[in-house]
């Protein structure tokens, strides 16, 4: 972008935006300050930053928060997120590859159905799915939650990959196929590596969605040992109503991993959300 | 390039089945579409007309569930709150997002940092953000302490416990968390505006309003369409923030369709009645999204 002139008016605007940003960040300050306060401090002088900071809230939240400890919930969230995203990437990219490379009425129809399924609220599907998965013994464990995440987020994954693959030249894969390479091998060795940019974007967007998902996780995992961070945080906050220093330590534990992730993956996340603007 | 293909193509490649990618590769993905979307949506829509309890055989009750929704003040409220919340959320998040995008598009030295800052909450758990704000709005919380310290004690109130303000606290939290999402979508749209065009309007001495209306806005139309649709979906499905801030209270003043789906179905076991709420949400979302798309597309063409 060409350098626009930096005038006095620009400076005023800059200061204005910095001021707005400072106000915008107040909730984050409160989060850190109160999470580090003793109960007495949180009740009397919550706005002052505690000196010295009190770290006890974090160990309480980590070990006992939400029945099994937020530390345990963090582990569940990691297992569920990594498995769900890996499954989505492998199965979703293969599906999108087929849709993008087959030029037929049928593949167009299948693609449109995937796009429609993104907009349709999962709340309607989740009721019969809950009953069916309960029959199959898939409620209240990792396997059920992972299968469910893969099923529910498949349309978004296929949408992201299809747009990218359609714009990808066929030359490499066709050259490989001429050499007699088998289809899956061509896919794994030639096509999938070419998809790395969209794989990064999709993985980040899907990870954020799965990690933060609350409605479905509450229905399927509440009360089980496998509950994810949001479900455990919900239980924890219910157990400690008005013990804000403890609740805030829990909130900080729930938020910190993704805030760290955000610092590294911000570009991919933006690309994931803006896929529709350019497509 | 297409014209060169026959020359380099060995004869056996034209045989059917050799070049085409087989549907077999798409099978797991398509199975997910059928088993987790198409079929359960169909069953969900069917259960909306039954008195199913999730265990025994579902018996058909016609429109009874929808009559119950109309007759029940809490259910009517949930519908109304969802519409109020989603409508205000779409307007505010997009207005603020657009203002941020325009302000942070160029010139400012701190623009990259500020963009990251405003976008960061989008990546965080809406439930956790809800708990964070529930202390700000609590009676002994930050907002009332601030009002007291600047001599506005008369405005202090139980923001979450007062039926006239509770729903709007949820709106504030959602706008705070997701305006940055609208911002990045508009920034992506603004990248399509060439500097030459922009500089030319500066040189011509065009008024800022003219520049915005004739140069910037037309190019932002696709971003507006996407942003309005995504924020609409977020607004209509509001659940996490409600659970964290008010849990539907006080006196059902913040019940939404999603909280009703949850409590009717999974807390009270009324699977048929809950499905009716879910069908209502799906229908509303479909109608709202399609209307919005049609309006925006028409404007896109006109701009």
Model pLDDT for residues A154-167, shown as the tens digit of each residue: 999 999 999 999 99
* Domains assigned to chain A: 8-54 (no CATH), 70-242+270-278 (1.10.3720.10)
DSSP code of residue B116: H
Contact B107 A266 (CB under 8 A): no
Identity of the residue in B13, B23, B271 whose CB atom sits nearest the CB atom of A98: B23
CATH tag, B66-125+174-302: 1.10.3720.10
Q: Is B38 on the interface with A (CB under 8 A)?
A: yes
pLDDT for position A276: 63
Domain spans, chain B:
66-125+174-302
Residue A14: list chain B partners with CB under 8 A: 108-110
For B109, the closest chain A residue by CA position comes to A14
For chain A, give the secondary structure using H, E and C.
CCCCCCCHHHHHHHHHHHHHHHHHCHHHHHHHHHHCCCHHHHHHCCCCCCCCCCCHHHHHHHHHCCCCCHHHHHHHHHHHHHHHHHHHHHHHHHHHHHHHHCCCHHHHHHHHHHHHHHHCCHHHHHHHHHHHHHHCCCCCCHHHHHHHHHHHHHHHHHHHHHHHHHCCCCHHHHHHHHCCCCHHHHHHHHHHHHCHHHHHHHHHHHHHHHHHCCHHHHHHHCCCCCCCHHHHHHHHHHHCCCCHHHHHHHHHHHHHHHHHHHHHHHHHHHHHHHHHHHC
| pLDDT exceeds 90 at position A95 | yes
| pLDDT exceeds 70 at position A152 | yes
Residue ranges in chain B modelled with pLDDT below 70: 1-19, 198, 201-203, 302-303
Whether A213 and A230 have beta carbons less than 8 Å apart is answered as yes
**Mean pLDDT score, A243-271:** 93
Identity of the residue in B13, B131, B278 whose CB atom sits nearest the CB atom of A237: B131
Q: Which residues pair with B50 in a beta bridge?
A: B60
**Mean pLDDT score, A40-59:** 90
pLDDT for position A174: 78
| pLDDT exceeds 70 at position A1 | no
pLDDT for position A28: 96
pLDDT for position A171: 83
Residue A47: list chain B partners with CB under 8 A: 142, 145
Mutate which of B43, B132, B139, B149 to disrupt the A interface (most A C-beta within 10 Å)? B132
pLDDT for position A34: 94
Residue with the larger pLDDT of the pair B48 and A8: B48
Percent of chain B with pLDDT over 70: 91
The ipTM of this complex is 0.93
Contact B13 A177 (CB under 8 A): yes
pLDDT for position A176: 76
pLDDT for position B219: 81
| Nearest Cα residue to B131 out of B177, B164, B97 | B177
Q: Is B29 on the interface with A (CB under 8 A)?
A: yes
pLDDT for position B19: 62
Contact B233 A119 (CB under 8 A): yes
Mean model confidence pLDDT for chain A: 91
Residue with the larger pLDDT of the pair A57 and B215: A57
Contact B262 A148 (CB under 8 A): no
């Amino acid at each position: 972008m060409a350098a626009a002139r930096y005038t006095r008016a620009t400076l005023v605007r800059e200061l204005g935006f910095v001021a707005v940003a400072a106000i915008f960040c107040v909730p984050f300050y409160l989060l850190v300050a109160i999470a580090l306060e003793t109960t007495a401090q949180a009740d009397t002088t919550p706005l002052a930053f505690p000196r010295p900071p009190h770290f006890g809230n974090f160990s309480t939240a980590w070990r006992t928060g939400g029945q099994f400890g937020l530390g345990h919930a963090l582990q569940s969230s990691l297992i569920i997120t990594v498995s769900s995203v890996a499954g989505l990437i492998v199965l979703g990219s293969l599906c999108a590859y087929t849709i993008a490379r087959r030029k037929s009425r049928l593949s167009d129809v299948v693609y449109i159905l995937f796009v429609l399924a993104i907009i349709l609220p999962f709340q309607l599907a989740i009721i019969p799915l809950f009953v069916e998965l309960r029959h199959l013994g898939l409620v209240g464990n990792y396997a059920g939650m992972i299968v469910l995440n893969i099923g529910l987020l498949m349309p978004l994954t296929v949408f992201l990959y299809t747009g990218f693959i359609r714009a990808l030249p066929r030359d490499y894969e066709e050259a490989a196929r001429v050499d007699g390479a088998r289809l899956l091998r061509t896919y794994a060795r030639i096509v999938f590596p070419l998809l790395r940019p969209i794989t990064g974007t999709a993985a980040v967007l899907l990870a954020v969605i799965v990690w933060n998902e609350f409605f479905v996780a509450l229905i399927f995992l509440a009360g089980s040992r496998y509950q994810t961070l949001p479900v455990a945080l919900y239980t924890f906050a219910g157990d400690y109503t008005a013990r804000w220093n403890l609740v805030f330590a829990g909130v900080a534990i729930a938020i910190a991993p993704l805030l760290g992730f955000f610092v590294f993956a911000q570009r991919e996340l933006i690309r994931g959300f803006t896929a529709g603007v350019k497509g | 390039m297409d014209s060169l293909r026959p020359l380099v193509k060995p004869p056996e490649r034209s045989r059917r089945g050799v070049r085409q990618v087989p549907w077999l590769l798409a099978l797991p993905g398509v199975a997910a579409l059928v088993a987790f979307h198409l079929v359960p949506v169909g069953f969900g829509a069917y259960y909306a007309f039954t008195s199913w309890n999730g265990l025994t055989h579902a018996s058909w009750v016609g429109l009874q569930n929808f009559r119950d929704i109309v007759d029940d003040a809490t259910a009517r409220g949930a519908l109304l709150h969802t519409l109020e919340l989603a409508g205000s959320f779409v307007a505010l998040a997009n207005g603020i997002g657009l203002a941020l995008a325009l302000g942070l598009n160029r010139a400012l030295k701190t623009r990259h940092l500020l963009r990251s800052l405003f976008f960061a909450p989008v990546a965080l758990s809406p439930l956790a953000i809800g708990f964070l704000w529930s202390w700000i709005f609590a009676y002994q919380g930050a907002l009332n302490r601030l009002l007291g310290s600047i001599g506005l004690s008369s405005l202090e109130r139980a923001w979450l416990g007062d039926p006239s303000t509770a729903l709007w606290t949820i709106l504030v939290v959602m706008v705070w968390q997701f305006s940055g999402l609208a911002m990045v979508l508009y920034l992506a749209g603004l990248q399509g505006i060439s500097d030459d065009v922009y500089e030319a309007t500066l040189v011509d001495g065009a008024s800022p309003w003219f520049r915005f209306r004739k140069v910037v806005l037309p190019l932002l139309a696709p971003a507006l369409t996407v942003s309005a649709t995504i924020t609409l979906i977020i607004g209509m499905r509001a659940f996490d923030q409600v659970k964290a801030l008010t849990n539907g209270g006080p006196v059902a003043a913040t019940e939404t369709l999603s909280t009703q789906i949850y409590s009717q179905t999974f807390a009270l076991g009324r699977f048929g009645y809950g499905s009716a709420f879910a069908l209502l949400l799906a229908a509303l979302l479909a109608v709202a999204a399609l209307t919005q798309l049609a309006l925006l597309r028409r404007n896109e063409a006109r701009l």
